[in-house]
Structure 1
Amino acid sequence: MSPRRLGKGSQKKARFERLKEEIMRFVTANPGCSAQSIVANLSHDRIMRNHGLTPRKVGFFIPRHL
């Protein structure tokens, strides 16, 4: 077995926090926007392509975490 590393999950937490900040920034600038427009902005304009974002995931994320 490999030794356990300290700070496990820190990258996941950092991505989560960045996602929260970016969604809040976009929604406050564009009230009434759809989940699809949020995903388009994050994926194309904010270079978050590798996060696997879909409108469905963003739709579930907003009521749970914001």
Structure 2
Amino acid sequence: MKTITTTTSRTETDVQHEVSGFLFTIVSASALILGIWGIACLASGLLNGGLMSLVRGYVTAITGM
């Protein structure tokens, strides 16, 4: 005797979870790129004028004096 069996496979996708994961990846990548850019700018400022020049420029930019 032969028995016929039918199997169905169903996949449910949570769209909100997928979009949240994608956006988290994009925001994390952007933060990483901006962090690397900031470190590169800080290193460039240190190499150009030294620490005291960098601090003097920072204070001047904040106070306007």
Query: TM-score, normalising length from structure 1?
Result: 0.47
Query: TM-score, normalising length from structure 2?
Result: 0.47
More relative contact order, 1 or 2 (CA 8 Å, 6+ apart): 1
